[in-house]
Amino acid sequence: MGKTLRRCALLLIVAATAMTWIWQRPSPASAANAPPGGIVSAAAATAATAATAVGSPAGAVPNQAAPEQAAHDRVAIVAGQLIDGRSDLPIRDAAVLIEGDRIVAVGGAEIIPGGTRIIDLGDATLMPGLIDAHTHPLISTDSYQIDHLRWSSAYKALRGLKAVQDNLLAGWTTLRIAGDADIFYAHLDVRRAIDEGLFVGPRITGAGHYISVTGGGGDINFMAPEQTRVADGLVVDGVDEIRKAVREEIKNGSDWIKLLVSGAYMSVGDDPRNVHFSPEELAAAVEEANRRSVPVMAHSHSAEGIKMAVRAGVRSIEHGSFIDDEGIALMVEHGTWLVPTGVIGSYYLEQEEVVGELDKMVELTRRYRDDRVERLRKAIEAGVKVAVGSDFGGYPAELNAGEFECMVEAGMTPMQAIQSGTRVGAELLGWDDRIGTVEAGKFADLVAVAGDPLEDITEMSRVTWVMIGGKVVKGPEGAAHSRR
């Protein structure tokens, strides 16, 4: 009965003031000039949402203020249930009050002052914007190791822009790019264009390239030696080369450094169970990055590679497929994050056909998937900080949310899995003072699903409403609006 009464109170705010709003509604002329709801709309939408996306070094996200006229505009989001990213229980019949691009209050109907515009999401579940901590928006085919030879960097930037916008519409308001398949820095230019307000998109951080040894996962290992090979990764050997590569990455806009410490699943001619960098090379890379206050993510499937990277001081381990008990203990001791990226293997196991370059990936996943789930379960039980990362990016954006299912399969509750894709991801990025939870002072990055993801975690793949920086980019924005 209490829930029903509270819900009715919220709905009465909308219903009792509907006629007032009718008299306050914009004229047809001004309505015609309002930005459309679609994210890929033209200049009107771009101008109205120029401040919605931010990408900068971890801990140094610039505050791009909303247009001046929006600074005084309040909006309240009303929903049947709020998962705030911090509490272990949802908040029923919730309201979130927003001014400009920031959340100013969270509670019930009592926090909504007079003159507030209201977006009523009905029985939907409202959550913080989702964070994909391991994504590759320039990779959209199974032949990613040669796509950079077929496509120009400019073309990749255009494809990448579409990919990150699709990710935003699927609820992913923040992306950490784990290096990407381009000789130059197309995805970092996409970030720049979003930051400058040229396009609407998610908040982006990440590495320009994955740094690899000769013959490693970032090299091309399937061409004749007399051919001129141009890899999409940075191929380095020795302490001096790795120091220079780190400096080049930072010079060209990388705010993370990505190291391929072991071989990879999805590259030809290397073994993910092998360690590739020496301890001296690893130490030099981390030291050089630390000198510029840039964190390091270490791709490692290998158990020994994981331990070497943790001891060297990396901030996160990517994949961690063969992590052992010692590696788990080291990660807990050092406070290192794990981004397991399980969903991409599950995806390829379901495909009827894959290109030859990925035969190794399918075979390794088939052989080790169950073992990998159990190793992740151990890491979760031991208290390793685990963040959601899909390893997709340029594929259909709805696939990313399969990572929540992988987390639940490995022993997380649905609430813990959602927190891994929100608050824990923000902590990994060092952005937890501005995103990751629904709290006063945070950016108004919010998403909603129609159902209850605590009952059915697959709801996370069916995001129906998205707001970034206080601007709605997907879902109802007109009929549900009223003013008190």
pLDDT of residue 355: 67
- Average pLDDT across each block of 10 residues of the chain; the chain has 484 residues. List them in order: 50 41 33 35 35 38 41 85 98 97 97 94 98 94 75 94 97 97 94 97 97 84 75 91 98 97 79 90 98 97 96 98 97 98 82 72 83 96 98 89 97 98 98 98 98 98 98 74 48
| pLDDT for position 372 | 92
**Residue 352: helix, strand or coil by DSSP?**
coil
Predicted local distance difference test score (pLDDT) of residue 71: 37
Spatial distance between the Cα atoms of 49 and 43, rounded to a whole number of angstroms: 10
Q: What is the DSSP letter of 443?
A: B
Residue 224's region, left for phi above 0, alpha for psi from -120 to 50, else beta, is beta
Pick the CATH number of 2-129+443-483 from 2.30.40.10, 3.50.50.60, 3.40.190.10, 3.40.50.720: 2.30.40.10
Structure token pair of residue 336: 């290192």
Fold of 130-429: TIM Barrel (3.20.20)
Q: Cβ(282)–Cβ(302) under 8 Å?
A: no
- What count of residues does the chain have? 484
What's residue 18's pLDDT?
37
The tens digit of pLDDT for each residue in 301-320 reads 999 999 999 999 999 999 99
Unique residue bearing structure tokens 């959550």: 127
Give the burial class of 120: count Cβ atoms within 10 A of its Cβ; 0-12 exposed, 13-18 middle, 19 or more buried: buried
Contact between 229 and 220 (Cβ < 8 Å): yes
Helix (H) or strand (E) holding 385: strand 385-386
DSSP label at 469?
Answer: T
The CA dihedral of 34, 167, 99, 24, to the nearest 10 degrees, is: 30
Dihedral sign computed on CA atoms, order 424, 418, 84, 45: positive
Mutual angle of helices 303-312 and 279-291, in 10-degree steps: 40
First CA to last CA distance, the chain: 25
In the block, residue with structure tokens 């990448």: 160
With beta carbons less than 8 A apart as the criterion, state whether 426 and 443 touch: no
CB-CB contact of 179 with 208 (8 Å)? yes
Classify residue 28 by burial, with Cβ atoms within 10 Å: 0-12, 13-18, 19+.
exposed
Alpha helices in 197-278 (DSSP H): 239-251
- pTM of the predicted model as reported, rounded to 2 decimal places: 0.84
Residue 334, φ and ψ in degrees, nearest 5? -90, -5
By CB atoms closer than 10 A (0-12, 13-18, 19+), residue 113 is: exposed
Query: What is the C-alpha separation between 118 and 96, in angstroms, rounded?
Result: 10
8 A C-beta contact, residue 167 and residue 176: no
- In this prediction, residue 72 carries a pLDDT of 52
At residue 57, the pLDDT reads 38
Alpha carbons 10 and 80: distance in angstroms, whole number = 10
For the chain, the structural domain boundaries read 2-129+443-483, 130-429
Distance CA 261, CA 217 (A): 9
Residue 418 main-chain phi, psi, to 5 deg:
-65, -40
